């Protein structure tokens, strides 16, 4: 009889090891099905009772490098997105990601509701829809986005709708979208579905979460780079470089003059960005 091995999650809870999750992780990192299975087989042979999910991820990266050398330059996507500065970087990252999917997006602005004014993180327009975009960022990527955020968003949407009806602004909002870098609690998703609020987070919705959107469009943040230090990240972001695609396509000499990043470091980062983007 096959013995069930339990792994330890970040919050200390236990769950059975699921080999298929390893396969899916590898596939999301653009491994072939054969490569994904080979990595999953090796991980399965090297796990032990109580192994942490973090340690399993380290094994995945280690074994996958044999097939995809560019993996050595990157960290886990979930952690990478959490490393973006909440304002303005993550907000801008979300707005740019929505543009990749055909939305016309206007960033942060102040709009008057019927009762009070509101700081709006973004307005996304596509076809006849005008969407209020509420963006939340958690540095701790294992934190859940709770129902309180959903309640606040619904109240903001209703006041802005009343503000439009009162002639205080010209945006006739049809619905709201909450975008975050973490999972949503079950209570939060239940409320969103009831109120017609769209939500976008880690594996939320289940088959169309933020990680799927990022991977589908090859829209990886610069924080995916393992060798990127905080100061260099800030210099790049302050000059509009938030994604690996932007970094790989930049004029290194011009960016050096703007950021004062040493050319040797900049060339290394650009090269790594190209390897990951093309991989």
Domain count, the chain: 3
The answer to whether 276 touches 70, Cβ cutoff 8 Å, is: yes
pLDDT for 52-103, tens place per residue? 998 999 999 999 999 988 888 899 999 999 999 999 999 999 999 999 999 9
Is 162 a domain residue?
A: yes
Cis peptide before 126 (omega within 30 of 0): no
Question: Is the domain of 91 the same as that of 208?
Answer: yes
79 within some domain = no
CATH number, domain of 240, equals: 1.10.150
Residues 136 and 245: their CA atoms lie apart, in Å, by 24
Whether residue 76 is contained in a domain is answered as no
Does residue 251 fall inside a structural domain? yes
Give Dmax over CA atoms of the chain in angstroms: 70
Do 229 and 188 fall into the same domain?
no
Same domain, 92 and 209: yes
For residue 1, pLDDT beyond 60: no
Q: Does residue 36 fall inside a structural domain?
A: yes
Q: Is residue 1 part of a domain?
A: no
Q: Kindly state whether residues 96 and 176 are assigned to the same domain.
A: yes
Per residue, the 3-state secondary structure of 99-138, as one string, reads HHCCCEEECCEEEECCCCEEEECEEEEECCEEEEEEEECC
19-35: pLDDT as tens digits: 999 999 899 888 999 99
Task: Choose the final residue of a domain: 194, 216, 238.
Answer: 216
Look at residue 93 and tell me if it is in a domain.
yes
Q: 160 and 201: one domain?
A: yes
Domain span at 20: 6-67
Confidence category of residue 257, pLDDT binned at 50, 70, 90: very high
Nearest to 223 by CA among 88, 97, 76: 76
Mean per-residue pLDDT, 164-193: 97
* Predicted TM-score of the model (pTM): 0.87
Digit-coded pLDDT (tens) for 184-218: 999 999 999 999 999 999 999 988 999 999 999 99
- One domain for residues 153 and 132: yes
Q: For residue 74, tell me if it sits in a domain.
A: no
Task: Give per-residue pLDDT as tens, 99-156.
Answer: 999 999 999 999 999 999 999 999 999 999 999 999 999 999 889 999 999 999 999 9
pLDDT at residue 230 in the model = 94
Please tell me whether residues 209 and 255 are part of one structural domain. no
The rounded distance, in Å, linking the Cα atoms of 105 and 7 is 41
Q: How confident is the model at residue 180 (pLDDT cuts 50, 70, 90)?
A: very high
**Domain match, 166 and 114 both:** yes
* DSSP E strand boundaries for 25-81: none
């Amino acid at each position: 009889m096959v013995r069930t091995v339990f792994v330890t999650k970040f919050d200390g809870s236990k769950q059975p090891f699921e080999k298929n999750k390893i396969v899916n992780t590898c596939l999301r990192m653009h491994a072939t099905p054969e490569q994904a299975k080979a990595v999953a087989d090796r991980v399965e042979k090297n796990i032990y009772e109580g192994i942490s999910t973090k340690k399993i991820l380290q094994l995945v990266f280690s074994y996958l490098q044999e097939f995809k050398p560019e993996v050595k330059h990157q960290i886990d996507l979930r952690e990478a997105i959490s490393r973006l500065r909440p304002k303005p970087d993550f907000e801008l990252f979300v707005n740019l990601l929505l543009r990749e999917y055909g939305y016309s997006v206007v960033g942060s602005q102040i709009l008057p509701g019927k009762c009070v004014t509101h700081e709006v993180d973004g307005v996304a327009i596509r076809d006849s829809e005008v969407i209020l975009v509420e963006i939340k960022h958690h540095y701790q990527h294992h934190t859940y986005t709770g129902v309180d955020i959903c309640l606040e968003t619904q109240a903001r949407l209703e006041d802005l709708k009343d503000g439009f009806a009162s002639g205080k602004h010209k945006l006739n909002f049809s619905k709201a979208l909450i975008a975050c870098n973490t999972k949503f609690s079950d209570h939060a998703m239940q409320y969103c579905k009831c109120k017609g609020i769209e939500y976008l987070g880690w594996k939320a919705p289940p088959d169309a979460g933020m990680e799927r959107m990022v991977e589908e469009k090859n829209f990886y943040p610069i924080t995916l780079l393992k060798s990127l230090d905080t100061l260099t990240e800030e210099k790049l972001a302050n000059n509009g470089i938030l994604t690996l695609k932007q970094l790989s396509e930049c004029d290194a000499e011009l960016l050096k003059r703007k950021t004062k990043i040493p050319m040797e470091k900049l060339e290394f980062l650009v090269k790594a960005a190209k390897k990951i983007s093309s991989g």
